[in-house]
Structure 1
Amino acid sequence: MSTGTTTSEVRSYWRILLAAMIGTGCGLLSITFYTQGLFFQPVTAEFGWTRAEFFTSYMILMLLGVVTGPLAGKLVSRFGVLRVGLFGLFGHFLGYLLLALNPGSLVLWYLSYAALSILAAGSLPITWTALVSQYFRVRLGLAIGITMSGTGVAAALAPLYVRFGLDTFGWRWTYASLGLIAWVLASIVVLSFIRSSGPAQTRRPPPPAVLDGLSPRQAYRSYRFWFINLAVFVISLAVGGLVPNFAPLLAEKGIAASDTGTVVSLLGVAIIVGRLSAGYFMDRMWAPLVCAIYFSGSVVGIACLLMPAPLSLGTVGFAAVMAGLALGAELDIIAYITRRYFGSKHYSEIFGGVYVFFAVGVGIAASAWGFLVDWTGNYDPILVASIGLIVFANALILMLGRYPESASFSRSAEAP
C-alpha cells in the first residue's frame, strides 16, 4: 500500500480516531483498571475490609464481562457505536456515583460494581475498536494502537488526579468527580467528532472497505480462536492482577505513598508508548512475534520486582516501564490479531467472544492476587507464577501461523 493511501486514510478519519481514543480512555476498562488500587487504603481503612474483600469487587466487575462484553459487541452491530458508546459512558458515571454513596455495606459495594459492569459495558474497547476497524485498512495496527492509547492516557493522568482527590476531598468525592469528568469529556468529544465526520461514517464503513471474514460460528471452530483465547486468559491472569495491586505492591517494596502516584503514572506513560509502538510494528511485522517480544520484556520487569526490599525508585520505575509496554500492547495485539485472523465482517461479535476470556482472567486475577498475598504474606510467589504464565502464553501465540489470505491487506507482515 502506498504512503499516500495511508496519509489519505488518516487525514479522512482522524476525527473518528480521536473520538475512539477518548472514548476508550474515559471508559470502564481504563479508569477503573488503573485507579482502583489507589482507593484500596482509604476505603479499607474506613470500612475495615480485607485486601481480598476489596479486590473481590473487581472480580465481580470483570467476570460479568463474560456477559456484557459479547452483549456490547452485538449491540454495536445492531445500534451503532454512537448510541452504545454514549450510553456506556453515562452508565460509567452512574456506577461511580453508586460507589461514592456506599454507606459501608460490602454487599452494596459488590452490587455497585455489578451495576457498573452492566451500565458501562458500551464504553469498553470492543465499541471503539469496532469503529476504527471499519475505517482503517492500510494502517489498522496503528489505528488500533492510537485508539487503545486512550487507556495509557487514563493510566498516566487518572492516578495523579485520584491521588490529589484523595488527599484533598476524600475517596467519596474523588470517585464521583472522576466519573463525572470522564463522562462529560468523552461525551463532548465523541458526540462532536463522530457526527462531524458525517452520518454515513457513524453507521457503515466507507465504500472502499469491503467487509470480509469468518462468521462467529466459523471462528469458534478454529483452533486459532481457542489458542488466542487461552493465551489471553493466561496473560490476563499474569498481568491482570498486577495493575490493581501495583500501589499496595509498591508499599510492600518500600516505596513511599507520596511516590506511588508518580510510579503508577509512569506505568501509564509506558502504556501509551506500548500501544503506539505495538501498532506501528504490527503493521510491519508478524503480530504474534510482536506480542512475544513485548511480553518477554514484562518478564524482565516482573523479575525486578522480585529483588529484596526496599527497592529504589529507579528499579520500580524500570519495572513499571517494562510492564507498561506489555500492558499497552496487550489489548492492541488481541484486537489486531482478531481482525487479521477472522476478518471484519463479524469483528465486534468475535472480539466480544475473545474479551470474555480477558474479562474472566483479569477478574479472577484481581481477587486471586489479594487472596494469595493474604495467605503467603507477600507478593513474591504470585510474581514468580506470573513469569511462568507469560512464557506459556507466548508459546501459544507463536503457534498461530500465517495470516489467512485477504486481498484487503498488505502481505508484508506474514509469519516467517
Structure 2
Amino acid sequence: MHATAAVRDPVMGATAEWRRGWHLVGLTALGITCAPTTLPVYSIGVFVAPFQQTFGWGRGEIQTAILFSTGLGVVCAPLAGWMVRRFGVRMTILPGLCGLAASLALASAMTGALWQLYAVYALMSLLGAGAGAVGWTSLLAERFFQARGLALGLGLSGTGLCAVLMPQIASQAMASWGWRSAYLALAAFILLCVFPLCLALLPRREDNGLTHSTQSGEVVPGQSLHAATRSRRFWLLGASTACIYLAIGGIIPNLVPALADKGMSGGDISSVLAAFGIAIVAGRIGIGALVDRYWAPGVAACALVPASCACLVLDESSAVLFSIMAAAMLGAAAGMELDVLGFLTARYFGLKDFARIYARAYIFVAAAAGTAPLAFGHVYDLSRSYHLPFVISAVLLAAGAVGLLSLGRYPDHQQCNDRR
C-alpha cells in the first residue's frame, strides 16, 4: 500500500506500516550520520588539535567552519526540497552522498590557508545538500501515517549514532596515518558503506507513493508551497523552531566550558555530557512515539518547559546531580525538535508539497543553528559570564513552547484540499 493510501485510510495499522517500511527507518538512521548538518559538526572536534599544531589556527577560527556547513542550510534546504519534488528522494540522496564524500576528500588536500577550511565546509553543505534531513524526512513522512512520529524519531536518531561513530572513524584513521587520512576515511565510509545500502534500498521514483498517486490522477491531501508559506501557522512554526534551535544550538558548544567555569572535574563533565547524549536519543524516540498518540504541540511543550527550567538550574547550581538532571532535560528537548518539525509539517500542511514546505521550514533551523554558537559566544565575551546566555536560552525555550501551543488543531486536508 502506498503512502497516500495510508493517509486516505488511517485505519491501516501501524504494524502494517512498519512491515512495509522498517528497513527505510534503519536506512534513514544510517544515512543521517552522513548528513551535511551532522557529520561536520560531530567530527570537527577531532581535527582541532592537529589543525592548531599543523597550521597554527585558533580554536575559534576552526569552529567557525561549522557556520559554513550548517548556516548554508538556508540556501541548501530549499534546493533539496526542490530536488525531492523534481527528481524524487532516491535521486536526491544518492548524489548528495557522493557530493559530501567528494568534499571530505578535498578537505584532505588543505595546505594551510584558512579560507580553504571554510571553502571545503561550505562545499559539504552545497554538494551534500541532497543527503540532508529534507530528503530523509520526506522518505519517512510519505510512508508512515499511524506511526509517523515514532518512525521519524527512530530514523532521525541517527544524529546520536553520528556523534558516536564519526569521531571514532576519524580518530582511528588519524592515530594511524594522520589527519588527512581521517577525512579520507570519512569519505570512504560514505562511499563504501552508506552509498551501496542506499543504492540497494532506496525506492525508485516510480515506487514513491506520492508520485504514483499524482500520476494516477488522485489528489494528494495538503497545501501547496505558496498556500503554506502565506499562512500564519507556517511562520508561527518557523519562529517557534528558531527560538528552540537558538537556545539548544547556543548551549551545546558552550556547555563544557560553562561547567568547567563552575569548577567541575573532567569526569563529572563527562557524566553530564553522557546524560545529555542519552537523553537526546531517548527524547527523540519517546517523544516520537507520543506524538503518534497525542497532540504533538502539547507533547513538545511538555519537553520544552522542563528544558527551560533546566537552563536556570545550570546557571544557578554547580551540583553534579542537578547538572546531570538538567542536561537530561535539555537533551530530551534537543532530541525531539527535528523529527517533531517534520511531523508537524506533515500534519498541518499535508503531503501534497511536503518536501518543499519542510525545506522552507528548515531554513529557520539552519539560520538559528548556524548563528547561535557565535551569538552566545559574543554574549559571553561581553558579560564574561554564562549567566546571560543561560537566561536567554530559558526564555527562548519557553517562547518556543508557547508558539507551538498556538498552532491549534490539526486541519483536515482530505476535506479542504485545494480550497485555498
State the TM-score bracket (shorter-chain normalisation).
Answer: 0.7 to 0.9
Instruction: Confirm whether residue 328 of structure 1 aligns to residue 351 of structure 2.
Output: no
**Cα separation, partners in 2 of 1:241 and 1:93, compared to 1, 3 Å:** farther
With 144-153 and 42-51 compared, the bigger mean Cα shift is at 42-51
Match of 2:201 among 178, 193, 198: 193
Q: 1:155 Cα deviation (Å)?
A: 2.4
Using structure 2 for the length normalisation, give the TM-score: 0.85
Instruction: Confirm whether residue 119 of structure 1 aligns to residue 127 of structure 2.
Output: yes
Aligned 1:213-292 pairs, distance under 5 A: 213-249=222-258, 251-254=260-263, 264=273, 266-292=275-301
Q: 1:165 Cα deviation (Å)?
A: 5.6
**Cα separation, partners in 2 of 1:175 and 1:134, compared to 1, 3 Å:** same
Measured in 1, the distance between the counterparts of 2:173 and 2:381 equals: 28
Aligned 1:11-160 pairs, distance under 5 A: 11-44=19-52, 46-160=54-168
Aligned 1:308-323 pairs, distance under 5 A: 312=320, 314=321, 316-323=323-330
Q: Which amino acid aligns with 1:363?
A: G
Deviation string, structure 1 residues 202-259 (Cα, Å, up to 9, x no partner): 5746769962111111111110111111111121111113334445555545566688
Measured in 1, the distance between the counterparts of 2:19 and 2:164 equals: 27
Q: 1:104 Cα deviation (Å)?
A: 2.2
SS in 2 for 1:345: coil
Measured in 2, the distance between the counterparts of 1:352 and 1:191 equals: 23
With 113-122 and 245-254 compared, the bigger mean Cα shift is at 245-254
Measured in 2, the distance between the counterparts of 1:254 and 1:30 equals: 30
**Cα separation, partners in 2 of 1:353 and 1:279, compared to 1, 3 Å:** same
Q: 1:37 Cα deviation (Å)?
A: 4.1
Q: Which amino acid aligns with 2:13?
A: T
With 152-161 and 83-92 compared, the bigger mean Cα shift is at 152-161
Unaligned runs of 5+ in 2: 1-8, 416-420
Measured in 1, the distance between the counterparts of 2:138 and 2:265 equals: 41
Measured in 2, the distance between the counterparts of 1:69 and 1:388 equals: 27
**Counterpart of 2:306?**
297
Measured in 2, the distance between the counterparts of 1:163 and 1:248 equals: 22
Measured in 2, the distance between the counterparts of 1:317 and 1:175 equals: 33
Instruction: Confirm whether residue 362 of structure 1 aligns to residue 382 of structure 2.
Output: no
Q: Which amino acid aligns with 1:332?
A: D
SS in 1 for 2:252: coil
With 243-252 and 334-343 compared, the bigger mean Cα shift is at 243-252
Q: How many residues align?
A: 404
**Cα separation, partners in 2 of 1:285 and 1:11, compared to 1, 3 Å:** same
Measured in 2, the distance between the counterparts of 1:331 and 1:12 equals: 24
Measured in 2, the distance between the counterparts of 1:251 and 1:100 equals: 33
Contact 2:205-2:211 at 8 Å conserved across structures? no
Deviation string, structure 1 residues 130-154 (Cα, Å, up to 9, x no partner): 1111111222111211221111222
With 268-277 and 151-160 compared, the bigger mean Cα shift is at 151-160
Measured in 2, the distance between the counterparts of 1:157 and 1:87 equals: 22
Aligned 1:162-181 pairs, distance under 5 A: 162=170, 170-181=178-189
Q: 1:72 Cα deviation (Å)?
A: 0.4
Measured in 1, the distance between the counterparts of 2:312 and 2:54 equals: 34
Measured in 1, the distance between the counterparts of 2:159 and 2:387 equals: 27
Measured in 1, the distance between the counterparts of 2:128 and 2:353 equals: 22
SS in 2 for 1:372: helix
Deviation string, structure 1 residues 40-95 (Cα, Å, up to 9, x no partner): 45434544444443332222222321111001010011111112101111222222
Q: Which amino acid aligns with 1:117?
A: S
Measured in 2, the distance between the counterparts of 1:368 and 1:184 equals: 38
Measured in 2, the distance between the counterparts of 1:34 and 1:340 equals: 31
Contact 1:58-1:366 at 8 Å conserved across structures? no
Measured in 2, the distance between the counterparts of 1:56 and 1:201 equals: 41
SS in 2 for 1:392: helix
Deviation string, structure 1 residues 326-346 (Cα, Å, up to 9, x no partner): 111000111111111000000
Contact 1:288-1:398 at 8 Å conserved across structures? yes
Contact 1:37-1:246 at 8 Å conserved across structures? no
Measured in 2, the distance between the counterparts of 1:6 and 1:389 equals: 35
**Counterpart of 1:404?**
411
Query: How much identity, in percent, do the aligned residues show?
Result: 33
Measured in 2, the distance between the counterparts of 1:93 and 1:302 equals: 37
**Counterpart of 2:418?**
none
**Cα separation, partners in 2 of 1:19 and 1:110, compared to 1, 3 Å:** same
Contact 1:30-1:154 at 8 Å conserved across structures? yes
With 36-45 and 86-95 compared, the bigger mean Cα shift is at 36-45
**Cα separation, partners in 2 of 1:390 and 1:267, compared to 1, 3 Å:** same
Contact 1:166-1:174 at 8 Å conserved across structures? yes
**Cα separation, partners in 2 of 1:259 and 1:171, compared to 1, 3 Å:** farther
Measured in 2, the distance between the counterparts of 1:45 and 1:377 equals: 28
With 380-389 and 273-282 compared, the bigger mean Cα shift is at 380-389
**Counterpart of 1:346?**
353
